[in-house]
Chains A and B, each alone.
Chain A
Amino acid sequence: MIEICNLSKSFVTAGGTVDALRNVNLTIRDGDIYGIIGMSGAGKSTLVRCINMLERPTEGTVRMDGTDLGALKKKDMQEMRHHVTMIFQSFNLLMQRNCIQNIMLPLKLSHVPRAQALKRAEELLKTVGMPDKARAYPAQLSGGQQQRIAIARALATDPKVLLCDEATSALDPKTTHDILGLIRAINREMGITVIVITHQMSVVQEICNRVAILENGTVVEEGDVSRVFSDPQAAATKRLVYPDTFEEFENLGTAHNQMIRLVFRGAEAATRPLLASMAIECRIPANILSASTRTLDGKVYGTMLLNIPGGPEEMTRAIRYLSSTPDVSVQAESRYPSQPEGSPEAQ
């Protein structure tokens, strides 16, 4: 278990002090695949580097199974880093060393005998699905293959925790999916706790069970992925969960400025022809601006951005009708020339 308590980190730069992290509190349980998500500059990379003490926290503590990592002596800290390993966005393989040598590096660093290290590295090449690339150099491999070698290297010392710093951000969607699959398999089969740093909600959705949303160095929301996705609370979370915003459709003209966001939770809501029945029962023909569904833990979640024709009266009726449906939540936004500030949100 990793407990991050009151963690703050500030950097002194030429332009003054920058607070990268402010009072972060997180608990990561054994076996979690824990997502830390935020826009660039939110402090994710600093946070993950505070976990293995590549960055020293300015305040607060990081405890792993009760041990205060910040208080470790240099030798113990180096030992700790064999148990908390890391993979990177840019893979960071030694370019002058072949795959097997790259995987053997951490073993060499911890003085494992060569024959034993070689055997372990060969096993790991199989684990990551590249048994035939032992003698290949990183420059001869694709990005996805390089990341597999980096993962094998990170696993060499039998870590308890794997830190993934934007590990799939440089990869195409298909390769991202494959690498995430590998990380999930590692988590399940080897019982390694994984901490995933990303700016992509799709990565969190695909493999994480818990997630923390980081904005401007603070955790604005934290919880089970299915809860956060279905019922985002913080504004930053909403921006990540609903990437299509009201603002995108604002320029459609005055006749189109009444918008409703529908959020479906669970299959029951998704199986009802909600808009068709609203058109028949309320005589409001809603216009779908955007819609998407995703599956989390086998449950279907969907969001839909609707444009409601007519005036405030139609809007009120539509909200009332939609809100009465189980497992559906409604957020409304209407904008009129006379009332440009109006952005009421109704649940």
Chain B
Amino acid sequence: MEQYFARYFSEKKMADAWVIIQEDFLSATVSTLYITLMSTLLAILIGLPLGVLLVTGDQKGIRPLPRWLMGMLNWIINILRSAPFIILIVLLMPFTRLLLGSAVGDAGVIVPLVIAAFPFVARLVEGSLRELNPNIIEMAQSSGANTWQIVFHVMLPESVPSLITAFTTAITTILGYTAMSGAVGGGGLGNLAISQGQQRSNHAVMLAALVILIVLVQILQTFGTWLARKADKRLKNK
């Protein structure tokens, strides 16, 4: 134990850590937030319509699509979800380069993050929409609504609180994934924790990064929960 402290938390290490915290942590935090928000936004942009499609295109959905098409969609989503993120980053490097001209930096990590997160978001959206009372859908049909109208006037608005909860789960998960941005030279707290903390045996830096990540997750989760509750008109006593 003493050895552990001597090795990772010596006075010199602590002094180094303090310098790193002062100089790099603010920009790393901003970088993490930027990567997280951009990735989440783009993942929702792709995942939300896909999630809607998974529900409406189901054989028992409001607009059944061919079985093979739905089978393929599900298959692709499952494959993307089973690939470990770090492997996805490496595999996607040529694609990222093609898309952005470069596969490194903050932008370089956003591409694989979005690819990893949108199938997850699609599943979350699917779950939220499937929770919807089927009688409400029947009501919309009996009122003469077409598929688009059911989606935009009924399914999505009725699922707002549940979708907010789902997106909160997504953003906190994506925040965790950003830690791996260091692998492609992206910035952020995770990168700092690994390059300065783990590789240079300065665990104080690692712990400090961890604390900030914990605080960020707490803030995002609390805000998301609050927003979902505020948006939900089913709760009488607010």
Contacts and interface: CB of A to CB of B under 8 A. Distances in A.
Contacts of A108: 153
A92 B136 contact: yes
Given A80-B144, A137-B233, A109 B149 contact: yes
Interface string A157-190: 1000001000000000000000000000000000
Interface stretch (B21-29, B104-112, B156-164, B180-188): B156-164
Nearest to B139: A92
A97 B157 contact: yes
B62 to A, nearest CB: 12
A163 B141 CA distance: 14
A346 interface: no
Tell me if B's interface is mostly helix, strand, loop or mixed.
helix
A81 B142 CA distance: 6
Interface residues of B, number: 25
B233 A105 contact: no
A85 B236 CA distance: 29
Interface in B119-171: 133, 135-136, 138-146, 149, 153-154, 157-158, 160-161
A140 B144 contact: no
A90 interface: yes
A140 B236 contact: yes
B144 A96 contact: no
A83 to B, nearest CB: 9
A88 B143 CA distance: 12
Interface string A20-63: 00000000000000000000000000000000101000000000
A94 B141 contact: no
Which bucket holds chain A's interface residue count?
Answer: 20 to 34
Contact of B141 (A54, A79, A82, A139): A54
Contact of A52 (B136, B142, B160): B142
B234 interface: yes
B232 interface: yes
A109 B142 contact: no
A54 B135 CA distance: 12
A96 B157 contact: yes
A315 to B, nearest CB: 52
B235 interface: yes
Interface in A122-138: 137-138
Contact of A139 (B139, B161, B236): B236
12 contacts: A81-B143, A82-B144, A85-B142, A90-B135, A92-B136, A94-B136, A96-B161, A96-B233, A97-B157, A105-B140, A139-B235, A140-B236
Interface of B: 133, 135-136, 138-146, 149, 153-154, 157-158, 160-161, 231-236
